[in-house]
Amino acid sequence: MAVYLVTGGAGFIGSHVVEELVRREHRVRVLDNFSTGREANLAAVRGQIELCRGDIRDLDKIRPCCEGVEYVVHEAALASVDRSVADPLTSNAVNIDGTLNVLVAARDARVKRVVFAGSSSAYGNGSGLPRVELLESRPLSPYALTKVTGERYCETFTRLYGLETVILRYFNIFGPRQDLNSQYSGVISIFLGAYLRGETPVIFGDGDQMRDFTFVENAVEATLRACTVPAASGKVINVGVGEGQTLNQLIERLNEILGCRLTPRRAPPRPGDIHSSYADISLARSVLGYEPKIGFLEGLRRTVEWSRSQVTQQGIG
């Protein structure tokens, strides 16, 4: 049994990480300020975890959370390209200053390893598909830049202080618990929210832009492997399924699963958006022993089922 701290542990990905750690009988501490995370996401394990309410921008809140911890899974962030374009200052404060605070607290508490939730947005529109970790980072948005800066801080803390870090570049993670009502959520949950409200989803651009949609269970497996696999220390590792789907294909699959024929509205491309991206996961396979177990269609079906249950239980909109 090991002791883990999951920052942003009440959020979408973080809460899935927490549940799996509890299932594996580890001790889990969660740090969240509940700005986007929800207590309902932790309902199934609430009595089996230690909950710390606090913001990663406050170093004094993080320090006691790191005491006695062996592994930190750093999921807390202010996500969304759009939000960062509209408010780069807050994205900078949370994603850069907050990450630095987590690293300082982990270093001082002698944590074994920090796993940093990076982003495929780091690649920008650089040449070459699939995206390989050795490609140069070319961030197109403040959000992407904050994630690249977080990576650099991780690398510096490993090199300078000997704190083990692993950087995982997540590719378009989706699944249950993504916010169906937020304009800053992932595209699948945004589309699903529109469908279930009887609204017309919007595609920004021609719809041929490609994404590596990765079901959340795959991301959790890679994340937990990254905590303990010795060879992962100091590495930047893609987490995806290794294949791309266009937004037009996504709409077709949703129509099939939902049994409807809604046609999306088209709008101009948004600033900061990457056109196409999918992952080369060779390094994740060789270093982590990672293999995505849930494919795109199966993950989409599970996400649709969960989304429909939310309408039944509490409604959306």
pLDDT, tens digit (0-9, with 9 covering 90-100), for 178-234: 998 888 789 999 999 998 888 898 999 999 999 999 999 999 999 999 999 999 999
pLDDT of residue 311: 72
Lookup: tokens for 101 = 């605070």
Spatial distance between the Cα atoms of 79 and 76, rounded to a whole number of angstroms: 9
> 224 and 122 in one domain?
yes
pLDDT of residue 274: 87
Range of the domain at 167: 3-171+215-240
Extract the residue ranges of the chain whose pLDDT is less than 70.
127, 312-317
Annotated catalytic residues are 143
pLDDT of residue 312: 66
Q: Does any domain span residue 181?
A: no
Other beta carbons within 10 Å of 142: 22
Q: Does any domain span residue 300?
A: yes
> 258 and 236 in one domain?
no
pLDDT of residue 189: 94
DSSP-assigned beta bridge partners for residue 96:
none
> 153 and 37 in one domain?
yes
pLDDT of residue 197: 87
pTM: 0.95
pLDDT of residue 315: 54
pLDDT of residue 126: 75
> 270 and 140 in one domain?
no
> 252 and 229 in one domain?
no
pLDDT of residue 234: 97
pLDDT of residue 198: 87
Burial class, 315, CB count within 10 angstroms (exposed 0-12 / middle 13-18 / buried 19+): exposed
Is the distance from CB of 191 to CB of 203 less than 8 angstroms? Answer: no
Phi, psi of 120 (to 5 degrees): -65, -15
3-state secondary structure of 168: strand
